[in-house]
Amino acid sequence: MKALRIECEGTDGAGKSTALEYLVKKLQEKGKRIAKTREVGSPLIPVCVEMRKTVLDPESGMTGAEMEMVFAAMRVLNQAHYRKIEKDVDYIVSDRGWLSHLAYTDHNESVEFTNKLYNNLLATFTELPDIVLYFNVNTDTALKRRQKRGSGMDVIEMKGVEFQEKVRGSFMKYIETLPFSTKVVIIDANQDIDGARAQLDKVVELLELRNI
């Protein structure tokens, strides 16, 4: 059987990266073989790591359209790599994926650009995930988490709270467009770490039963 592809989605500060680490750990405890990756800057593909550094560098001076073309190239590279490994692992778990491309491009460039680049082009030769875990978080909680990190912001994070709010709206819009074959699980990311983990434990149970 081919590996199931899981993409963890949400706006900046939703806690998805931390949750992904916990999810991977729990699946590995079940004896599952996991390829852990990220949509932008995949550690499995060295050139993507360098591409991410360049495109997210506030000093790069890239336009929104130029950035999105690079992001799209990374998805193509990821998909090619997944096809090489999908029979050797049980799950490919990614920090961000298809929905992030759509939601962020709407506001980093335009809805028209999103449709042309992703819905009319990349959708024809890249595959949708089997499962999307969407980490739904409110503005205040997300902002506090981003501030708590205390690290420098990349060029997308620097666009501010209003930008993230617009992106959240696009996430919800595009979730509705996913086909029935892609299962979506909404995680209440406003809860504390124990609450989030309890929700992920349930996801692991459902994966074990193949009910998701």
Of 34, 122, 136, 138, the closest CA to residue 86 belongs to 34
* pTM: predicted TM-score of the whole model, two decimal places: 0.93
Tell me the domain boundaries of the chain: 4-209
Distance CA 188, CA 138 (A): 10
| 11, 141 Cβ separation under 8 angstroms | no
pLDDT tens per residue across span 83-108: 999 999 999 999 999 999 999 999 99
pLDDT tens per residue across span 108-146: 999 999 999 999 999 998 999 999 999 999 988 988 888
Residue 19 identity: A
DSSP string, 17-31: HHHHHHHHHHHHHTT
Distance CA 150, CA 163 (A): 20
Q: What is the pLDDT of residue 150?
A: 65
Taking the C-alpha atoms of 109, 112, 114 and 119 in order, what is their torsion angle to the nearest 10 degrees?
A: -170
Query: Which residue carries 């001076």 as its tokens?
Result: 61
What is the rounded average pLDDT of the residues 143-167?
Answer: 82
Tell me the pLDDT of the chain averaged across its residues: 94
The CATH number that domain 4-209 falls under is 3.40.50.300
